[in-house]
Structure 1
Amino acid sequence: MSFITKSRAVAAGILFLGLAAAPAQADTEGRTSHLARFLQQAMDEARFQEVLDLAPPASAPAATLADVEEKMATSPQEYARLFAADPKPITQQPQLDVTVLELDPLGRPVASGTVLMSPQHPNGVAVPVDRNLRTTAVRWRQWDDRGWYANQGRGTIDIVPGREQAPIDFMSPYPASVLKLMVGFGVLRLVDKGTIALSDTYDYRPTETSALCQGNTSNTVGNYLEAALTSSNNPATCALVKMLHDKGAVDELNQTFQRLGLETLQFKNTNPATGGRWSNPVTMTSLDTAKLLALVNGLPGRAWTAPDGTPVTSAVLSASSRQVFKGHLANQGWNDMLSTANRCDQPAPGIPHQVPSRWIGEDGSVTVAGNRFGRDVRPCAPNAQVTFAHKTGWVNNSGADAGIVKSLPGKPGRHYIVVALTNLGTQYVDANRPPAEPGLFPVTFTEKLSRLGKAVDEHQSDWWNKR
């Protein structure tokens, strides 16, 4: 029996958490929610340990294993080098942090599931959370590139202090460009305060050089934001980060995350001279990222109670700023991780959504930031069932996707948030990976991630329509 069939059988015997019920994954007796049970089973059966490593420790150059100051997406030259390599079996269970947050029609969380997978938890472990979608059961550790190999996936730098006795010790994968969600939130908070306007022109003038950020530019704040969130443009994001530094807003952003109870969202150690230096001190976990997206999505009343006892609501952003944020995420160009829409469900179907028309050329193929995916996606458009407002991210040892899923009119209902943070970036491939084709963007993620996305979507659709 597949994990989809099994999860449906489990779901049939569990009462749906009513809209008035507190979000829950595990109660005081340790019984896990239907989401946590399903997710752990789905991740275990996906067999992520079967991926292949294009740069195993014995052959990888030092830069691959060392913690670098500016983590960048793989260049075409690096892709060529990687794809010419002889892949080897991965040395240990990959590192995954996945959350599904089930929402009611108004966007209120009604159930959650968070599962961590690592060399210490090869079959996955469900994270217990309280009614405020918060956990103290995990000792979150900062990602360590070299340490993942040398220390069997164990980190050494704590993200949240005071968790030394927590029963689960987990090194959180680097979020890559999913960190742009934190940047967008910080920018739109300044817009809501009247400090800046989206129509303002910002002259980006770095005082140091950076390959990640490049040179001088001038554009509106709104255009920088749109480019950062839809095509994942790094220089545009650097401009926004430098602007946040210029306005003295980075420390305040980090304090806001702490105040909202999003303790693991930490935008630290970036360079005020360039807006770059995106490295391991920038941290996110799937649970806190999902909670941030719940606020961006919007909901009536209290979302949860912060650690200081104050209610947290979606009023942390104005309705107009939330609309801008969601609009950019819905126009995402990189649909190739939890979904495979950019390749018309190839090599394996993921979350069933449609590519925004802005990225589709006359021949029906998708091109994003000069990268052509090559397949005609128009035949797959009628199969779309949901919208997926999301942000992806990748470097060699980070593959991440985080977004809001909502059913299209007339399609089977579902409304949920899914976040997957993994170390399965461009360095890791499947044994049956399609060969690279000249002039086309190569398949850079294991299809196990899109299969997981499809499984989550089917589970949520089935649960919603059986409740």
Structure 2
Amino acid sequence: MAQPTPAAKHSSAALAKRLQATMAGLDFGDLVDTAPPGSAQARALAAQPESESGRPPNAPALNAAAATTIHQQPQVDVSVIELDKKGRPVSSGTVLMSPQYKDGVVVPVDKNLRTTAVRYRLWDNDQWDANNGQGTTDTVPGRDNAPIDYMEPYPASIVKLMVGFGILQLVDKGTITLDETYAYTPTKPSDRCEGATTRTIGEYFDRMITISDNGATCSLIKVMHEHGGVDWLNQQFQDLGLDMLQLKGTDPANGDWSPQVTMSSLDTAKLLMLINGVSGKAWTAPNGKPVTSAILSKSSREYFRKELGDQGWNNVLSTTNYCGYTYPTQGMPQRISSRWIGPDGTVTVNDDPTDGKYQYPVKPCQDAAQVTFAHKTGLTAVAAGDAGIVHSLPGKKKRDYIIVAFSNLGWRYKDTNRPNPGVQPAVNRTEKFAKLGRTIDQYEAQR
């Protein structure tokens, strides 16, 4: 039997150093908190059910007059993995930022892009506000003496990458098909999930990834429960050495998920590396077995990448949806899917006037694009992130890399330079991630 091709030589120092310097230079502490700890706004926000769809219509109004400067350095977790032409890792960098690590701390990784140097803690917003950013609940056992103690931000809708990975493995096993019709019949109500619906598995998958539909996600998690796929998937992540990928606390009655779900930027980037496709061995699992992209079939990987490439929400590390706006700044120079571009040249993802219907034609940014970005975003009041695969467009400077960012900087927090919403349409996230995406892409273009 042919042995897997060994991965390209791993080196991370230069990339990690550049990533740390970039994050420190962005001054993530220069933000405004519209719901300061202990305020009436904070209490109203805490009383709302968790939302995964940006700022929901029933969210409490946050009085700008009561806003204050963010009281401590936010939690930001970023990883970049550089790839060779065969999809193999050539270098990586992971940097964690928090009140304890105000300039960011580089996470040491071994030759398998794995770390045991971080004592990861489960996200708790109250603890972050009141306990100097320190968490108390371990998410990975046996890390009591790890040199870095870090409360990992809630991944928000980026959890849908884990769900998609599990669903496509059920497809590869022949348990389900993308074309089959599924009648979602929840037996328990949920604020996040929808009522009974009937669609094909593929339609649910498409809605989950491209428009971040929570109802579709609940439906697919319920599908996984009905086939024993959730517990199996969680065990598989552990077997692969992806310790922080944990789809925990899901409800088999309706497919809803809980704050117990965890992801780290490093493990998410490694998952995306498998989805992208690796020639030979990607890394060695803790049990000594080689991990390869064969964990998903070629057709499933292609389908997953296509869905991620059709992402509607291009507004975190990339900001092509906001082409023509004076704010937020231009992020990664991404060419977006034409699927969302109307006859007038503007992007419409949904009917939300604050973040779903965009004002200006995106053709100038499409013409100037340098890369494709197959990705998934996530946003709540206290979480914002983006995770995806970057490849250069034909004729552009060559780059192939994966970038993942998690943070607690959801729509509760605003940039100090954010224009008056009466002049500039509301933007429910900081533009610092767009600056991060642009800076890292420029660095990668020079590699």
Q: If the length of structure 2 is used for normalisation, what is the TM-score?
A: 0.94
Amino acid across the alignment from 1:358: R
In the alignment, what sits opposite 1:16?
A: none
Q: Distance in 2 between matches of 1:255 and 1:194?
A: 20
Per the alignment, do residues 357 and 24 of structure 1 end up closer, same or farther by CA in structure 2, a change over 3 Å counting? same
The counterpart of 1:320, out of the listed 287, 299, 303, is 299
Q: Does 1:412 align with 2:397?
A: yes
State whether structure 2 residue 199 is matched by structure 1 residue 212: no
Aligned partner of 2:318: which letter?
Answer: S
Q: Give the unaligned 5+ runs of structure 2.
A: 1-5
Q: 2:366 aligns with which of 381, 392, 405?
A: 381
Match of 1:258 among 200, 216, 238: 238
Q: What amino acid sits opposite 1:452 in the alignment?
A: L
After superposition, what is the alpha-carbon deviation per residue over 1:32-51, rounded to whole angstroms, capped at 9, x for unaligned?
x1110000000000000001
Find out whether 1:24 has 2:11 as its counterpart. Answer: yes
**CA deviation after TM superposition for structure 1 residue 79, in Å:** 6.2
Percent of counterpart pairs with the same letter?
54
Do the aligned residues in 2 keep the contact of 1:434 with 1:443 (CA within 8 Å)? Answer: no
Q: Report SS of the residue matched to 2:281.
A: coil
- Measured after TM superposition, the shift of residue 214 of structure 1 is 1.6
TM, length-normalised to structure 1 = 0.90
Counterpart in the other structure of 1:249: 229
Deviation at 1:274, TM superposition (A): 0.9
When residues 350 and 74 of structure 1 are mapped into structure 2, their CA distance, relative to the original with a 3 A threshold, is: closer
Question: Separation in 2 of the partners of 1:422 and 1:344?
Answer: 24
Q: State the AA in 1 paired with 2:113.
A: L
SS of 1:379's partner is helix
- The question of whether the paired residues in 2 share the 8 Å contact of 1:24 and 1:130 is answered with no
Structure 1 alignment gaps of length 5 or more: 1-18, 26-32
* 2:419 matched residue in structure 1: 434
Cα distance change on mapping 1:83 and 1:320 into 2, 3 Å: farther
Match of 1:135 in 2: 115
The whole-number CA distance in structure 1 between the counterparts of 2:133 and 2:92 is: 25
* Pair 441,266 (structure 1): closer, same or farther in 2 beyond 3 Å: farther
Aligned residue-pair number: 435
| Gap change, CA 1:23 and 1:71, over 3 Å in 2 | farther
SS at match of 1:242: helix
User: What is the root-mean-square deviation in Å for CA atoms of aligned residues?
Assistant: 1.8
The reply on whether 1:102 has 2:82 as its aligned counterpart is: yes
Aligned position for 2:3 = none
Aligned to 1:462: 446
Q: Tell me, in whole angstroms, the C-alpha distance in 1 between the residues paired with 2:157 and 2:63.
A: 22
Take 1:214 and 1:149, find their aligned partners in 2: how far apart are those partners?
Answer: 32
Q: Are 2:44 and 2:60, in contact at CA under 8 Å, matched by a contact in 1?
A: no
1:85 positional shift: 5.3
In structure 2, the partner of 1:351 is 332
Show the 5 A alignment for 1:28-67.
33-59=13-39, 60-62=41-43, 64-65=45-46
Residue from 86, 89, 99 that aligns with 1:119: 99
Q: 1:154 aligns with which of 134, 139, 163?
A: 134
DSSP-derived class of the 1:82 partner: coil
CA distance in 1, matches of 2:302, 2:94: 27
Question: Deviations for 1:75-115, whole angstroms, at most 9, x for unmatched residues?
Answer: 45356713755421000001000000000111111000000
Mapped pair 1:365 → 2:346: yes
Q: Are 2:336 and 2:372, in contact at CA under 8 Å, matched by a contact in 1?
A: no
Structure 1's 115 and 229: CA in aligned 2 closer, same or farther, altered over 3 A? Answer: same
- Displacement of 1:135 in angstroms is 0.4
User: Secondary structure, in 3 states, of the residue corresponding to 1:81?
Assistant: coil
Q: Residues 213-268 of structure 1, C-alpha deviation per residue, up to 9 Å, x if partnerless?
A: 12000000001001100010111111001111111110000011011110100000
User: How far did residue 409 of structure 1 move?
Assistant: 0.2
User: Which of 152, 159, 163 lines up with 1:179 in the alignment?
Assistant: 159
1:340-397 residue CA offsets vs partner (Å, 9 max, x unmatched): 1001164201110122111111221111132212222112211100000000000000
Q: Distance in 2 between matches of 1:429 and 1:79?
A: 16
Cα 1:38–1:190 shift into 2, 3 Å: same
Q: 1:339 to 1:34 in 2, by over 3 A?
A: same
Deviation, structure 1 residue 416: 0.2
| Partner AA of 1:88 in structure 2 | T
Is this contact kept in 2: 1:55–1:427, CA < 8 A? yes
Amino acid paired to 1:267: L
